[in-house]
Amino acid sequence: MSRADHVASTRKQWLVQEAQSLGFAQVGVSRAAFLDEEADRLETWLKRGYAGEMAYLERNMDLRLDPRKLVPGAKTVVSLLFNYHNPDRSETSDVPRIASYALGEDYHFVLKRKLKDLMKAMQEEWGAVEGRVFVDSAPVHERAWAAKSGLGWVGKNSLLLNQSMGSYFFIAELIIDVELEPDAPTTDHCGTCTRCLDACPTGAIIQPEVVDGSKCISYYTIELRGAIPEPAAKQLGDWMFGCDICQEVCPWNRHATKHNEPAFEPHDALLDMKRSDWLDLTEEVFKEVFKKSPVKRTGYEGLLRNIQAWKAGSA
């Protein structure tokens, strides 16, 4: 092993330990380069209209596919997984459901704070390090990079699946100008299972690994700004914000364990809300309960729209 390779390996080991001390479950490393395999796939997906009103996915394609254009001088993409699984959430049938990732504080802020601490620790340990941290907040193809670095494979529901964690985790990235020992991709372990395709009530999973985002319950309840189409409104079931159905039926999530991040615990008031509280939700209560939550992204009027769709479906 050359001295450069030894340094890259040693630094990677240190980085993994430091990241785990901040709560990240797993870390994978890839060399920064153009994502050849994803370019045509992403272009086809967009041309078929699967992004719906999510026009931001069509912007900055060159940056999304090449991290060296997003971060000049980039040599390495570090992907990190952070568990958010909350199996203890209420399953009461007479209240609407929120996707488990959104039950606590907004992950963008929680994880970005941790990533900045990690970047600072790297600079203190290694000297000058240039780069940026990302938490679903810029044109970074996070799932592709995580798969490329061996943290899992892309399941038939298009989510990253991990043998020991399932899929209840956030993916974050560091794109830096430091060489680190890269990891190798893993293999697909979905086999012949089609539970996610069979369970999706809106038929959003068109084929293995291809999801029509414009038909997903998460799209209808979060991204869509207008009225929810009537056929879709009847298919939302109990979901008011996001959806976990394809994760709940996935056999790999039998390995998922509860998170240990206090910031991801649900707001006390959220757990206490009854059916009548949701139906009579005021803007004041909305602002108080969801002031640090991803749910505020819908806005008060958007959440009322979702509540009305849930009410009609549960009547």
Q: In this predicted model, what pLDDT tens digit does every residue of 143-198 receive, in sequence order?
A: 999 999 999 999 999 999 999 999 999 999 999 999 999 999 999 999 999 999 99
pLDDT on residue 4 = 81
Quick check: helix, strand or coil at residue 133?
Answer: strand
User: Going by C-beta distance under 8 Å and a sequence separation of 6 or more, which residues neighbour residue 58?
Assistant: 46, 51
Measured torsion, CA atoms of residues 135, 140, 141, 142, in degrees rounded to the nearest 10: -20
Q: Per-residue confidence at 89, pLDDT binned at 50, 70, 90?
A: low
**What's the CA gap between 88 and 314, in Å, rounded?**
23
**What's the CA gap between 195 and 199, in Å, rounded?**
6
Mean pLDDT of the chain, nearest integer: 93
Active site residue 136: yes
Residue 91 clears pLDDT 60, i.e. is over it: no
- Domain positions in the chain: 1-315
Which one from 66, 117, 136, 183 is the annotated catalytic residue?
A: 136
- Count the Cβ atoms, other than its own, within 10 Å of residue 130: 15
110 and 68 in contact (C-beta within 8 Å)?
A: no
Rg (CA), the chain: 20
User: Going by C-beta distance under 8 Å and a sequence separation of 6 or more, which residues neighbour residue 5?
Assistant: 181
